[in-house]
């Protein structure tokens, strides 16, 4: 590739020759190095998608009536796969696809290293705060999501749960002797009889993807 440009360099002053040579070499290296990485990433995602979907008896690349593609459709979930840094796109796409399939939205996040865990925790935080009802799985790395939702019993005996980032979360102290406890998700808390903190955003059926039965 560089042989093409060498004859041209003889027409320019030596300093400019050196500049052009460095520029061409840099461009060549960037093209050479980035292409294999991109191809490997695509294969990596497809491999995880195929293995996970087969394990959960799902249908890979399901086509909806709107001609969009669901990465994996199971009996209960419409699932989108993506790498951790693309969690926002995965979240939005899974919610949109659930409208077409009538299934609950789900996301399988691909974690390639420990640094990806911050994206996982951010996704979970948004899902819990906005009560989106999106089921989250991970592949690549085994990461256990924390059960950090506080189930509080107030002075009137009302059972209220608090999610990280809400106004009273830090001030709430869980006391098991008073029947208070921790939950892993807002669905678990509500199933157990706890209600959301008053300032929590209410459930929007459209945000949930149009489905009613969560399980």
Interior/surface letters 4-26, b for 16+ CB within 10 angstroms, e for the rest: eeeeebeeeeeeeeeeeeeebee
User: What per-residue confidence (pLDDT) applies to 70?
Assistant: 95
What do you get for the CA distance between the two ends of the chain, in Å? 58
Which range of 41-45, 131-135, 153-157 scores highest in mean pLDDT? It is: 153-157
With both helix axes pointing from N to C terminus, report the angle between 117-129 and 87-101 in degrees, rounded to the nearest 10.
Answer: 50
Whats the size of the chain, residue-wise?
215
User: What per-residue confidence (pLDDT) applies to 16?
Assistant: 53
Helix, strand, coil share of the chain (percent; to 5): 45, 20, 35
Instruction: Give the C-alpha separation, 71 to 75, whole Å.
Output: 14
- To the nearest whole number, what is the mean pLDDT of the chain? 79
User: What per-residue confidence (pLDDT) applies to 58?
Assistant: 95
Which 3-state string (H, E, C) describes 122-156? HHHHHHHHCCCCCEEEEECCCCCCCCCEEEEECCC
Tens-digit pLDDT profile for residues 72-115? 999 999 999 999 999 999 999 999 999 889 999 999 999 999 99
User: What per-residue confidence (pLDDT) applies to 19?
Assistant: 63
User: What per-residue confidence (pLDDT) applies to 125?
Assistant: 84
Higher-pLDDT residue of 5 and 97 is 97
User: What per-residue confidence (pLDDT) applies to 14?
Assistant: 58
Which range of 1-15, 24-38, 80-94, 193-207 scores highest in mean pLDDT? It is: 80-94
């Amino acid at each position: 590739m560089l042989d093409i440009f060498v004859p041209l360099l003889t027409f320019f002053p030596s300093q400019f020759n050196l500049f052009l040579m460095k520029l061409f070499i840099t461009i060549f290296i960037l093209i050479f190095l980035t292409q294999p990485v991109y191809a490997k990433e695509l294969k990596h995602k497809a491999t995880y998608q195929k293995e996970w979907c087969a394990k959960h008896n799902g249908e890979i690349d399901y086509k909806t009536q709107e001609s969009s593609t669901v990465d994996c459709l199971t009996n209960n979930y419409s699932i989108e796969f993506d790498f951790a840094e693309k969690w926002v796109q995965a979240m939005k796409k899974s919610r949109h696809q659930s409208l077409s399939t009538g299934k609950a939205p789900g996301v399988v996040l691909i974690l390639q290293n420990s640094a990806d865990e911050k994206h996982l925790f951010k996704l979970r935080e948004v899902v819990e705060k906005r009560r989106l009802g999106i089921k989250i799985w991970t592949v690549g790395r085994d990461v256990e999501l924390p059960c950090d939702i506080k189930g509080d019993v107030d002075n009137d005996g009302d059972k209220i749960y608090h999610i990280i980032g809400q106004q009273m979360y830090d001030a709430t102290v869980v006391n098991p002797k008073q029947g208070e406890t921790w939950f892993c998700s807002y669905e678990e808390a509500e199933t157990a009889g706890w209600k959301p903190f008053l300032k929590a955003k209410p459930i929007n059926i459209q945000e949930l993807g149009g489905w009613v039965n969560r399980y």
